[in-house]
Amino acid sequence: MALGDLVQTHPILSLAVLLLLVAFSYHFLLIDASPSEPPFIKGYIPFLGTAPQVLPSPFKYLSACRAKYGDIFTLYAFGLRITFVADPIDGVPAIFRKTKQLSFKKGLDTFFTKVLGFTPERSAQEEMNKEHFAMIPPFLLATSAVDGLTGRFQRFYQQNIRKQVQKDESFVDGKVVDLFEWAGARLFYSSANSIHGVDTFDEDRGSTLEDYKAFDEQFPMRLILPLWMTKGFEKCRNGFRDALAAKYSKGLVDPSDFVKRRIEVFSVGKYLTIDPRKVWIRDGNYWQ
């Protein structure tokens, strides 16, 4: 029996062929780059997109894409558009210089609302969002900023180590610990202090570190899955956010320049409900 006759006489096979035709038509005709996206590679298979090409050798495939399309490009895989910035030193500033061509607005709106829990009203504050992202190159990527943050981290890391020894004298003679968990906690609390200031989180109380780990591990699933399937993520995100908000409301001691600028940006948009001059303190005196 010819294939055409077989398809016409078997309803299930006919339906399968029809669905394949619709899927491939949708993939090749309707899946395309939006005006705000960089070079777009969508692959040849509906839904999977470039996944069959990426998974066997990710580094080789991404390197080939970078050589062909430049430092910024978007891959379509598993129904998602994933934008890669291969060189953060040159690529990230390029995004800020070309906000009209590289706005990623739709993706950012999804990330803001589903992952960070912003309201639609807050996500729509485009000027504030633009100012927020514009802070990254001068306050986080510039050589002077990196040097400053590295110095702050080293200082807080040493303080954290000394605090551990003071709390548990068995460290003096030697103590067996899970190195990954112990060192990870030291890095987490020291990094938080280097960004937000002294004693950002209370290491002896609450579940802030566990909440952050869950947030970090689960946020890709939050983007992909329906909201009702990721309630655990939402609980951890809110717990981490509430702990940080409580510290901000009490006043930050010696925060980084990045945080001070961030507070100024948010206060302009009226999303900071307290006087920004009184959010951070140093040696008991408010910065003006």
Contacts of 65 (CB under 8 A, 6+ apart): 41, 73, 75, 84
Per DSSP (E only), the strands in the chain are 40-41, 72-77, 80-85, 252-253, 280-282, 285-286
Q: b/e string for 247-285 if b means 16 or more Cβ within 10 A?
A: bbeeebbbbbbbbbbbbebbbeeeebeeeeeebbbeeee
pLDDT number for residue 79: 85
* Residues 217-227 pLDDT 10s: 887 778 777 78
134 in Cβ contact with 127 (< 8 Å)? no
pLDDT number for residue 94: 56
Reference 193, options 143, 154, 237; nearest CA is 154
pLDDT number for residue 236: 93
Q: In what order do the strands lie in the sheet with 280-282?
A: 252-253, 280-282, 285-286
The residue extents of the domains of the chain are: 139-286
265 in Cβ contact with 131 (< 8 Å)? yes
Mean pLDDT (10-residue bins), the chain, 288 residues: 58 76 85 80 90 87 89 85 71 53 66 85 83 89 94 96 90 89 94 94 88 87 79 91 87 90 73 44 35
Reference 129, options 159, 157, 109, 114; nearest CA is 109
pLDDT number for residue 182: 93
CA–CA separation, 159 and 200 (whole Å): 13
Phi, psi of 208 (to 5 degrees): -60, -45
Q: Which residues pair with 130 in a beta bridge?
A: none
Query: Given CA atoms 216, 117, 223, 85 in this order, what sign does their dihedral have?
Result: negative
Phi, psi of 218 (to 5 degrees): -105, -10
pLDDT number for residue 10: 66
pLDDT number for residue 124: 83
pLDDT number for residue 7: 53
Q: How many CB atoms lie within 10 A of CB 197?
A: 23
